[in-house]
Structure 1
């Protein structure tokens, strides 16, 4: 069984202009980092022209589909019938993307099959993390 889930999603980048540009993005979940998910944007979709990936908690993504969640660099909230808004706050500015809630839900369901919510601690490699810490 694979320990990583990746799911391409269509993200709509919200800009000050009235139109919303569609950009590719990938949601990723790795059993070796069971509390986190990441959202990656390919080089053509970023200002710097390099792939950009944001990591945040799986719980934040799940909570944000139902009600506004997050107070830091990543905030998630529902929007309309089938949209989830992810706000990514950086020193350079804020990126606001809309994703179909059905795609987010499908991704989280797949992650749930890999690591059930509430059991993430069972998948942590405490010995490996301690060894790396001591090596440093």
Structure 2
């Protein structure tokens, strides 16, 4: 079973202009870092012209689909029917995107198959320790 889940999503960039632009984004969950998810944007979607990735708590994603959540660099809240607003706060400004809540739910369900919510502590650091143990056993056999 794969230890990493990636899912492409369509995000609508919210700008001051009346038309919202669709941008590609990738949600990522890695069992090796069971508390976190990330959302990456490809170079054409960023001001700097390089891929930008934001990491935040998986629990924040869960909470943000139900109500306003987050106080730091990443904040989420429901918006209308089947939309979630994700805000990314940086010194350069704030970027806001709308993502279909159904896509976020599907991503979270897939992540639950790797690491059930509430059991993250059982997986934190295990990949590292498994590799170390395997290497030790190999060296002593």
TM-score bracket for this pair, using the shorter chain length: over 0.9
Change (3 A) 1:122 1:47: same
By how many angstroms is 1:124 displaced? 1.2
Within-5 A mapping of 1:107-126:
107-125=107-125
List structure 1 segments (4+ residues) > 4 angstroms apart after TM superposition.
126-129
- Structure 2 residue aligned with 1:76: 76
- Structure 2 residue aligned with 1:66: 66
- Structure 2 residue aligned with 1:44: 44
Equivalents in 2 of 1:77, 1:126: separation in Å? 32
By how many angstroms is 1:113 displaced? 1.0
Deviations 1:38-61 (A, max 9, x none): 000000000000000000000000
Within-5 A mapping of 1:19-30:
19-30=19-30
- Structure 1 residue aligned with 2:7: 7
By how many angstroms is 1:126 displaced? 6.4
The count of aligned residue pairs is: 129
Alpha-carbon RMSD across the aligned residues, in angstroms, is 1.3
TM-score normalised to structure 2 length: 0.89
Equivalents in 1 of 2:124, 2:105: separation in Å? 24
By how many angstroms is 1:127 displaced? 9.2
Q: Between Structure 1 and Structure 2, whose CA radius of gyration is higher?
A: 2
Gaps of 5+ in 1: 130-136
Gaps of 5+ in 2: 130-141
